[in-house]
Structure 1
Amino acid sequence: MSDKDNKTTAEVHDVHNNPGEWSLASVLPDTGTPWYKQRHLLLLNLGMIIPYLSSTTNGYDGSMLNGLQSMSQWQHFFGSPTGTRLGSLSNGVIFGQILAFPVAPWLCDHTGRRFPIFIGSALLVVGAVLQCAAQNYAMFLASRMVIGFGGLIAVEASPMLVSELAYPTHRSVLVGYYNNLWYLGALLAAWVTYGTYFMGPDASWAWRIPSLLQGLFPLVQVIFIYLLPESPRYLVQKDRYDEARKVLTKYHAGGDENSSLVDFEMKEIILQIQTAKSVSSTGYREFLSTRGNMHRLFIIIAVPCMMQLSGNGLIAYYLHLILNSIGFTSDPQQLRINGGLTVFNLGVSVILASFMEIVGRRRLFLFSTVGMLCCYVIWTILSAVNEQRGFHDTSLGTGVIVMIFMYQLFYNAGLNGPPWVYVTEVLPTHLRAKGTNIMQIASTCVILFNGYANPVAMDAISWKYYIVYCCVIAVEIALVYFGFPETKGHSLEEVALIFDGEEAFGEVSEKQTPAEV
């Protein structure tokens, strides 16, 4: 057994037997210098932009399809699809994601976090080119399936890399920003489609240009992803301790090989992962093996359902149907509203994410769901009265638009930034890839429902469909209140204590090397 193995084993045993010394706050360096003036932290945080672009591409897709539906050029080229035919185009991405479900967690567990982002982004570039070149409905649908397949692989790995690589005190805000960058893509798509709309009534490039630009951000990821280091937690999981320590030393301690913070992080990561290895097979059935894991399973299913089933699917993919229902039917008018909404969302979401560590996750979830319910109730009432008056009272339609903006404010507070922070926190390293996959499966099931049910229901019963979402959001408030514990102020490994108690860290023998534990 080498000296390094002895050192690592001693560190692990020391953490287990000295819990009173187990405090992140006690090992954080007090440099007195803001993080943006410390080169290693500045480079690390700027590097997070690369995985962020997975979320940006995802946002671009939703907003682009919204914009295309408001373009007469796209409608004429594809025969003005409605109902299930329109739903299939929205769900084309979902069909591709379904095919990627078995692949994504395997890649994350066996190749790390960077390679899935690379290969997923490369497939997104291919899909964007095919989408731009589409000659008919079938080809456009097939291209969206390619986009969905590559997109899911990149999206699963990206927040994991951010969470596992981030400086401890920056993690919640950095992961919170991840989903907020969805709106950057949405903003760009909204205004690109608005601009290309004026190319002419018969110009197919009016919709082909936005389709091609969807491959821009993935191309940037393909080129630059390997400038970021691999996740130290993945490296420890693969028994590559020296590499993990080098990453933490360089990016968390600025090269200080005697850093107490790095020692603490290594001890914590090793102990949590080795304990998990000694008692688990890291299969999906492990989510049913303990009460703590079943609680985790509840959360990672509930959170994506809330993200997609709170009425936001109507705004994300069928805003033009909402605007039609309140009398705003002009193409340029709809495109301007879509663009303005994305600008508002981006600004609000970034501001709110900055307060995540101050307010906490649970409070933001409650604030969000209660606020959304209030907005949806008022939105429903205004839409009903507007229809009864034959859409002649423009102030009522304007009131609905105001409620849409207010709804987005509350949605962004709790269901845009916090979900990825919360899910990556509650999942231990050895289950993070599979748990994220379960989250994506749950999200996909709800999006699939939204893709087919929303346009059909809006065509059939118009504003009355909003009542369904009022009921759903009311249920969500109860789920958060009774089932979501607070995780604020804990490291990724310390959160395990909330769900598993002292069983989160088992005994580690002094006589065993890290590889043997």
Structure 2
Amino acid sequence: MSDKGEKVIAEIHDIHNTPPGEWSLKRVLPDTGIPWYKRRHLLLLNLGMIIPYLSSTTNGYDGSMLNGLQSMSQWQNFFGSPTGTRLGSLSNGVIFGQILAFPIAPWLCDHTGRRFPIFIGSALLVIGAILQCAAQNYGMFLASRMIIGFGGLIAVEASPLLVSELAYPTHRSVLVGYYNNLWYLGALLAAWVTYGTYFMGPDASWAWRIPSLLQGFFPLVQVVFIYLLPESPRYLVQKDRYDEARKVLTKYHAGGDENSELVDFEMKEIILHIQASKSASRTGYREFLSTKGNLHRLFIIITVPCMMQLSGNGLIAYYLHLILNSIGLTSDPQQLRINGGLTVFNLGVSIILASFMEIVGRRRLFLFSTVGMLTCYVIWTILSAINEQRDFHDTSLGTGVIFMIFMYQLFYNAGLNGPPWVYVTEILPTHLRAKGTNIMQIAATCVILFNGYANPVAMDAISWKYYIVYCCVIAIEIVLVYFGFPETKGHSLEEVSMIFDGEKAFGVASEKENSAVV
């Protein structure tokens, strides 16, 4: 080990006065007694997170918009009332575009930073929204959705990385948790926009063209404002741009204080962690198979997106109209009002629950969520079965199903809306974060493809009996969380690595690499 490498470790030990494995942010966090919203640099930083949040908002708008369009006679008539695999292809059009973007998104994040992928992905989303609005037939509508998926994946992969790596240490979990919650803001707007435009008239194609065009609004905001945010300091350190990274941390975490102990700690911890990662790094994605800790990470980043998409929520997100049809609620305005009310409920509940993430912890929220979802799905299934047996004449049973849908969403939001992105971004080391989130997106896409084709076909064929499949899936998820998800709350991004790698997370890099540290 070089003298410079020893110096960095010695300085960190001096700050903490504790051995490796017991390092803590608490020793260097400033105690000003002033709430964060009265500290200008933290207020501006946290407000700036709205820009990457809009990637999630656009994603939510898409799912809710398609739900709304399916309840519109104008859209159904224009495209010939698509059903089965034809309807599944429209739902999965975004997924087809995402598949094409998989090899590109992590490369852009690793080689151009976090801001440029958000910029270029959002620009493509704007183009896709314009083409979607102008669609003249089924094929053009499908092609526009593929462009939306291609650009959307690039922006979605980079956005939570920027939030996670730029956030103030004690704000990170809540801020990243809010990222996915803003999905419901887009869903809410799409639900009520489609409800409003529905009344333009039975032959008005603008009833569905206006919601399609508005899908490009939030990406346009990102294109204009994304470069007002600084680049990720962890990305800058990874590219050996230490001075730039320090300036970012000094300005946004310390309010310009050049002598901040917090900035010293963050810089040294980030440098040590990234240098150790580079020293141990293998080639590309194979590194996930190289150590026990990385295999554990791989298990989690595949399991989490499967839980997010395979817990029955796909039925509600894209095929709510089929669920409502199955309990005898077939009126277009009635379905649109329920869809809109559900998005309002989801947005409020998800934001409230995300605020408890650092108090309760990730693991407990995952368990609370899965157990609650299973309970709701079992009751939901029973009520649907009885309702069908009574030929949908008992309106109280239909009301009970709707109540269970709302309760299910409460439990889903508790563990599978905010916590997943927090958990995945914090368990991955910096040099694997982009690749890991790409694997997460690939796993999610595989499940969404299943949802897109299997759900409408199964719902048409066996109706409520299909819910039994999801009851079994959620039961398996409870077991996987209980035995495979460690708690990570209360740690910095670098400290979380010690849960998986032990003290190797802060191992000493080679002499050549250490020579670049100072």
Percent identity over the alignment is: 91
Query: Which residue number in structure 1 is paired with residue 487 of structure 2?
Result: 486
Q: Which runs of 5+ in 2 are unaligned?
A: none
Q: 1:514 to 1:110 in 2, by over 3 A?
A: farther
Question: CA-to-partner distance for each residue in 1:189-240, whole Å, 9 max, x for gaps?
Answer: 0000000000000000000000000000000000000000000000000000
Residues 1:441 and 1:312: Cα distance change in structure 2 (over 3 Å): same
Q: Is the 8 A contact 2:16 2:24 kept in 1?
A: no
Q: Which is worse superposed, 373-382 or 11-20? A: 11-20
Distance 1:316 1:514 in 2: 52
Provide, for residues 435-464 of structure 1, a one-character-per-residue CA deviation record: whole Å limited to 9, x for no partner.
000000000000000000000000000000
| Residues 383-413 of structure 1 deviation map (CA, whole Å, 9 limit, x = unaligned) | 0000000000111000000000000000000
Tell me how far apart the structure 2 counterparts of residues 72 and 450 of structure 1 sit (CA, whole Å): 24
Summarize the Cα distance change of 1:9–1:490 in structure 2 as closer, same or farther, 3 Å threshold: closer
Q: For residues 370 and 470 of structure 1, what CA distance do their matches in structure 2 show?
A: 10
Inter-CA distance 256–455: structure 2 relative to 1 (3 Å threshold): same
Shift of 1:6: 10
Q: Which moved more, 1:14-23 or 1:347-356?
A: 14-23
Residues in 2 aligned to 1:123 and 1:6: alpha-carbon distance in whole angstroms: 47
Identify which range, 292-301 or 11-20, moves more after superposition. 11-20
Q: 3-state DSSP class of the match of 1:45?
A: helix
Cα deviation for residue 136 of structure 1 reads 0.1
Identify if the C-alpha distance between structure 1 residues 514 and 112 changes in structure 2 by more than 3 Å, giving closer, same or farther.
Answer: farther
Contact kept in structure 1, 2:63 and 2:318, CA below 8 Å: yes
1:350–1:489 Cα change, 3 Å: same
Distance verdict in 2 for CA 1:434–1:3, change over 3 Å:
same
**Superposed displacement of residue 261, structure 1:** 0.2
Cα distance, 1:515 vs structure 2: 2.6
Distance 2:24 2:385 in 1: 56
Paired residue secondary structure (2:7): helix
Distance change in 2, residues 1:438/1:2 (3 Å): closer
Q: Please report how far the alpha carbon of residue 505 of structure 1 lies from its aligned counterpart in structure 2 after TM superposition.
A: 1.5
1:53 aligned to 2:54?
A: yes
Q: 1:485 to 1:404 in 2, by over 3 A?
A: same
Per-residue CA deviation, residues 82-124 of structure 1 (Å, 9 max, x unaligned), is: 0000000000000000000000000000000000000000000
**Aligned positions of 1:391-402 closer than 5 A:** 391-402=392-403
* CA–CA distance in structure 1, aligned partners of residues 137 and 8 of structure 2: 60
Q: Take 1:506 and 1:14, find their aligned partners in 2: how far apart are those partners?
A: 17
Aligned residues of 1:61 and 1:186 also touching (Cα < 8 A)? yes
Q: Does the CA-based 8 Å contact 1:282-1:430 persist in structure 2?
A: no
Whole-angstrom CA distance in 2 between matches of 1:77 and 1:31: 61
Partner Cα distance (1:173, 1:76) in 2: 44
- Equivalents in 2 of 1:509, 1:94: separation in Å? 42
Distance in 2, matches of 1:511 and 1:89, equals 53
Q: Compared with structure 1, are the counterparts of its residues 16 and 99 closer, same or farther at alpha carbon in structure 2 (3 Å cutoff)? A: farther
Q: Deviations over 1:27-63 (max 9, x none)?
A: 0000100000000000000000000000000000000
- Whether contact under 8 Å (2:130, 2:213) holds in the other structure is yes
Contact persistence 1:383–1:397 (CA under 8 A): yes
Instruction: Tell whether the 8 Å contact from 1:83 to 1:452 is kept in structure 2 after alignment.
Output: yes
**In 2, Cα distance between equivalents of 1:503 and 1:7:** 18
Deviations 1:141-160 (A, max 9, x none): 00000000000000000000
TM-score, structure 1 normalization: 0.97
8 Å Cα contact 2:98-2:150 kept in structure 1:
yes
CA distance in 1, matches of 2:90, 2:65: 12
Query: Could you tell me whether the CA contact under 8 Å between 2:21 and 2:498 is conserved in 1?
Result: no
Deviation, structure 1 residue 3: 13
Q: Give the C-alpha shift of residue 502 in structure 1.
A: 1.4
C-alpha displacement of 1:15? 7.6
Alpha-carbon distance in structure 2 between the residues aligned to 1:4 and 1:143: 54
- Shift of residue 2 of structure 1? 15
Q: Aligned ranges for residues 93-108 of structure 1 at < 5 Å?
A: 93-108=94-109
Q: Kindly indicate whether the alpha-carbon contact (under 8 Å) linking 1:125 and 1:215 is maintained by their aligned counterparts in 2.
A: yes
Corresponding residue SS for 1:31: coil
- In the other structure, the counterpart of 2:2 is 2
The verdict on how the C-alpha distance between 1:511 and 1:432 changes in structure 2, with shifts beyond 3 A counting, is: closer
- Deviation of 1:281 after TM superposition, in Å, equals 3.0
Helix, strand or coil at the partner of 2:21: helix
Separation (CA, whole Å) in 1 of partners of 2:24 and 2:371: 35
Q: 1:504: Cα distance to partner?
A: 1.3
- Separation (CA, whole Å) in 1 of partners of 2:161 and 2:416: 18
Aligned match of 1:15? 15
Which whole-Å CA distance do the structure 2 matches of 1:11 and 1:88 have between them?
57
- Is the 2:278–2:509 contact (alpha carbons within 8 Å) kept by the matching residues of 1? no
Q: Is the 8 A contact 1:60 1:185 kept in 2?
A: yes
**Corresponding residue of 1:229:** 230
Q: What is the alpha-carbon distance in structure 1 between the residues aligned to residue 389 and residue 513 of structure 2?
A: 76
DSSP 3-state at the match of 2:514 = coil
TM-score (norm 2): 0.97
**Whole-angstrom CA distance in 2 between matches of 1:476 and 1:453:** 20
Task: Give me the whole-angstrom Cα distance separating, in 2, the residues matched to 1:240 and 1:3.
Answer: 21
Distance in 2 (alpha carbons) for counterparts of 1:6 and 1:110: 29
Contact kept, 8 Å, 1:16 with 1:505, in 2: the verdict is: no
Q: By how many angstroms is 1:9 displaced?
A: 7.7
Structure 1 position 507, deviation (Å) = 2.2
Instruction: Map Cα deviations across residues 454-475 of structure 1 (whole Å, 9 max, x no partner).
Output: 0000000000000000000000
SS of 2:256's equivalent in the other structure is coil
1:8 shift after superposition:
5.9
8 Å CA contact retained: 1:8, 1:514: no
Note if contact 1:274-1:514 (Cα within 8 Å) is conserved in structure 2. Answer: no
Is the 8 Å Cα contact of residues 97 and 145 (structure 2) preserved in structure 1?
yes
Query: What's the offset of the Cα at 1:22?
Result: 2.5
Unaligned runs of 5+ in 1: none
Q: Contact (CA 8 Å) 1:15, 1:22: kept in 2 or not?
A: no
Once the two structures are TM-superposed, the CA of residue 279 in structure 1 deviates from its matched residue by: 1.2
Number of matched pairs? 517
